[in-house]
Structures are given as structure tokens and as C-alpha cells.
């Protein structure tokens, strides 16, 4: 499937709380001289200062799927718009979906997991969240939407950094990292970020889960120490387990697990499936690279809420440590249950 994925049209989801600077970033993407043409799905016509016949107004209609899974929602309007856009294949190189400031990114992402026709033609590239350096800390306290958008992000554009002091910036970054230590974070003024840092990220490409995200590898250690003044596993350098990162009373956390002993696939896969089936509403994103017993292939997976996709990726390289790493980002994650479940999948 991964050979095919390169021919599919990449879709970038642009989120961010009201006033953070989404439109500024969008205008930058559209006006910069990059030789590419973007189809843009927006909520409000007229905010975009660029003349482009491929700007489409959306209605943000969130539809539940009839499969008994309550967090399995898709953007109905997006299914329809993608259908229409595919008639103009070849007229644009990529698609950007802007969500409203109050939107949950999950239904957008899930549309690309659930809908067969959408999946055939397009692939989710990354969720990019624009955050306001001055107001994000406040919004994280009073707006669950803002927290969702940070937790869901593959790339965070921390904007308006010129409006805050250095300690304020450190504070807001620590809060972001307390929720999501894995996203790429870029500090900007007026959304001045290299477009290569927000587009064509391949964040949902199973093959690139690790390659583009070195933070992922070091997440248990590196960011932890730089950004957090308290933790549960400060001296835990055994690499056998990661840490649950808290910033004060955040209810959104990330949980990373690792093992250098191989996992038993007959235990791990049912455990993972059961976990997302029962706790999927709390788990926003999940990712993992796995080493299974008697298997020379790396197995990779990723998920959004209850939806998982995974595949054997490639052979483990010679000398490459065969280590399994799993990350969950979510709300009120049952840490001990997850940790114990994971440990029980390690081949004795």
C-alpha cells in the first residue's frame, strides 16, 4: 500500500483556536511562490485574500457512522467535497482542510480512515495546529477544543511569539509539551514558518512514523527533562518504560511504553484492539513500532480513537535495536491498566 500512497493526494488538516492565525497561515501557503496548486476547504468564504477557484466552502457536518461506535464520526460534507474534487484530479497538487476554531479534528481524520472512496484517492498528511502564544495557556484551561487540537497535532505552529515574554513562551511550550510531546513545534511571528515544515509531512504514513519524528524516539527522556519540572520517572533510564507527562492538572496526557524484549503478537494485537475498543473515546492518537517474537519484520501501527491501521513495514536492520515503542495521547488515560496490559504482552 505504501507505494500507492505517494500517488494519493495529500491532505493537510489545519486547526487552531479562534484568532490563533489559521487564516494567516493559509494565506501564506497560498500566496508563496512554490509552484504548487492547493485546493482549500474552508468554513468562511471571504477570509482568504487569494483568488482561487479551488476554494470550497464547507459546512462542518459531523455524522455518526451506523456501526454502533459512538466516537466513530466523520465529516459528511468532506466526503461529498472530496467526491467533487476528485473530478478535478490533476488540477491541484494537495488539499488543505481548514476547520473552525471550535472543531474537533477527529472526525476530519476519521473520514480518511473510514470512507473507502476518500481513501482510494487521498491520504491524510498531517494535522497542523496553529496556537496563539499569548492566549493558549488560558484556552487550555477553559476550552476543551483547544486542548483537543494540541493533543491531535502532528505539527504545532506556536504563533504570535513576539507578543509574549521569554518566561511566558517557556510556560506555554511546557503546557503544550505536557499534552503532546511528539508534535513538531515551530515558534513563529505572523505564522512565518517554512512551508516544508507544515506541508508534505507524511505524519500518517506508516513508513514514516519514525523517520520524520525523532521526538518519538526520545520522547520518554529528552523533552521530559527539558520542559518539565516534575515527573514520575525522573531517574528511569532503563528504557523499559516511558513516562506519563503531567503539567499540573492537565487531563490530557501522553503515555509512552517501550520494551527491548519482543512482544507476543497473539497477545499484543488482541490487547491493542480491545484497548481502543474500550478506551477509544479517551485515546485521541496512538502510534507504535513493534518487534514481535520470531519476526524479522518491524510492525508499525497508528490510530485515531477506535480506528487502527497497521502493517509489517520492513526488515529490522542489522545492528538496529529491536525495540518496541508505543505512544498514546489522550484524556484521562488509565495509565496503570495500559502499562500492565502492555507488560503482559512481552514474551517471557
- Site residues (vs another protein, CB under 8 A): 45, 53, 56-57, 59, 61, 63-67, 76-77, 79-81, 84-85, 87-89, 91, 115-117
Task: Give residues with Cβ within 8 angstroms of 275, minimum separation 6.
Answer: 283, 338, 341
Q: Rounded to 5 degrees, what are φ and ψ at 146?
A: -65, -40
Cβ-based nearer residue to another protein, 79 or 217 = 79
Beta carbon of residue 144, minimum distance to another protein (angstroms, whole number)? 24
Strand, helix or coil for residue 121? helix
Beta carbon of residue 278, minimum distance to another protein (angstroms, whole number)? 23
Each residue of 277-289: b (16+ CB within 10 Å) or e? eebbebbbbbbbb
Task: Give the residues across from 346 on adjacent strands.
Answer: 263
CB 62 within 8 A of CB 73: yes
Task: Give residues with Cβ within 8 angstroms of 234, minimum separation 6.
Answer: none
Cβ-based nearer residue to another protein, 87 or 248 = 87
Closest CA to 61 of 87, 39, 84, 43: 43
Cβ-based nearer residue to another protein, 75 or 184 = 75
- Other CB atoms within a 10 A radius of the CB of residue 75 amount to 28
Alpha helices (H) along the chain: 2-5, 22-31, 76-85, 105-114, 116-121, 136-142, 144-152, 166-179, 214-218, 222-227, 265-279, 335-343
Cβ-based nearer residue to another protein, 46 or 319 = 46
Beta carbon of residue 66, minimum distance to another protein (angstroms, whole number)? 4
Beta carbon of residue 99, minimum distance to another protein (angstroms, whole number)? 17
Beta carbon of residue 101, minimum distance to another protein (angstroms, whole number)? 21
CB 175 within 8 A of CB 250: yes
Cβ-based nearer residue to another protein, 4 or 45 = 45
Cβ-based nearer residue to another protein, 8 or 208 = 8
Beta carbon of residue 14, minimum distance to another protein (angstroms, whole number)? 21
Cβ-based nearer residue to another protein, 57 or 270 = 57
Beta carbon of residue 181, minimum distance to another protein (angstroms, whole number)? 36
Alpha helices (H) along 280-334: none
Amino acid at each position: 500500500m505504501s507505494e500507492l500512497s505517494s500517488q494519493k493526494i495529500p491532505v493537510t488538516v489545519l486547526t487552531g483556536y479562534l484568532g490563533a492565525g489559521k487564516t494567516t497561515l493559509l494565506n501564506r501557503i497560498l500566496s508563496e511562490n512554490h509552484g504548487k496548486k492547493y485546493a482549500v476547504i474552508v468554513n468562511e468564504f471571504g477570509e482568504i485574500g487569494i483568488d482561487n477557484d479551488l476554494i470550497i466552502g464547507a459546512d462542518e457536518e459531523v455524522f455518526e457512522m451506523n456501526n454502533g461506535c459512538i466516537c466513530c464520526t466523520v465529516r459528511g460534507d468532506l466526503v461529498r467535497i472530496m467526491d467533487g474534487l476528485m473530478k478535478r484530479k490533476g488540477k491541484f497538487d494537495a488539499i488543505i482542510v481548514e476547520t473552525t476554531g471550535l472543531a474537533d479534528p477527529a472526525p476530519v481524520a476519521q473520514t480518511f480512515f473510514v470512507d473507502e472512496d476518500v481513501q482510494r484517492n487521498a491520504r491524510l498528511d498531517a494535522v497542523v495546529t496553529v496556537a496563539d502564544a499569548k492566549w493558549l495557556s488560558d484556552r487550555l484551561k477553559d476550552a476543551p477544543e483547544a486542548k483537543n487540537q494540541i493533543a491531535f497535532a502532528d505539527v504545532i505552529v506556536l504563533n504570535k511569539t513576539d507578543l509574549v515574554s521569554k518566561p511566558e513562551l517557556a510556560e506555554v511550550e511546557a503546557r503544550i509539551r505536557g499534552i503532546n510531546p511528539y508534535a513538531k513545534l515551530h515558534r513563529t511571528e505572523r505564522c512565518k514558518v517554512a512551508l516544508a515544515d507544515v506541508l508534505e509531512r507524511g505524519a500518517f504514513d506508516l513508513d514514516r512514523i519514525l523517520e520524520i519524528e525523532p521526538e518519538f524516539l526520545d520522547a520518554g527522556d529528552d523533552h521530559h527533562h527539558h520542559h518539565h519540572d516534575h515527573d514520575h520517572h525522573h531517574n528511569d533510564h532503563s528504557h523499559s518504560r516511558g513516562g506519563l507527562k503531567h503539567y499540573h492538572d492537565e487531563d490530557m496526557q501522553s503515555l509512552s511504553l517501550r520494551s527491548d524484549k519482543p512482544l507476543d503478537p497473539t497477545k499484543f494485537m488482541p490487547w491493542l484492539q480491545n484497548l481502543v475498543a474500550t478506551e477509544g473515546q479517551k485515546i485521541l492518537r496512538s502510534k507504535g513500532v513493534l518487534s514481535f517474537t520470531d519476526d524479522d519484520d518491524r510492525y508499525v501501527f497508528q490510530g485515531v480513537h477506535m480506528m487502527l491501521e497497521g502493517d509489517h513495514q520492513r526488515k529490522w536492520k542489522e545492528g538496529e535495536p529491536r525495540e518496541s515503542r508505543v505512544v498514546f495521547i489522550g484524556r484521562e488515560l488509565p495509565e496503570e491498566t495500559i502499562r500492565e496490559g502492555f507488560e503482559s504482552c512481552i514474551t517471557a
